[in-house]
Amino acid sequence: MSSEELTVTAGAVGAAEPDGTDIAEVSAEAAAARSYPVVADVNVRSGPGTSYAKVGRVRAGSRVSISCQRPGETVTGPTGTSRIWDKIGSGRYVSDTYVRTGSNGYVAPRC
């Protein structure tokens, strides 16, 4: 698979702006619009752990958008050890230890 950029938008329900725009949806879309660099080739999994099926691969140097994050299997990767998994698409997760987010914690809403 060649380098790819995966973009995911997320919607939510909650309070609305006077024009009817959903505040949570705007915030989720703004978070999803940020992309982060992948620091090493990584398998994409169907869930937050290496026991989940491989559903693809993202190459080092690619950028991914994170729609949400959730705890899962603890993984040691190029950026350290973490149990945070990044949802980069429907049924598509990568360990946060392969994505340079600039944080050891959550940078997107929890799934």
Average pLDDT over residues 24-46: 76
Arithmetic mean of pLDDT, 22-42: 68
**pLDDT the model gives residue 15:** 37
Give the residue from 107, 111, 93, 105 showing the smallest Cα distance to 12. Answer: 111
pLDDT for position 17? 41
Average pLDDT over residues 5-20: 38
30's torsion region: left (phi>0), alpha (psi -120 to 50) or beta? Answer: alpha
Mean pLDDT to the nearest integer, 65-89: 97
Q: What pTM, to 2 d.p., does this model score? A: 0.72
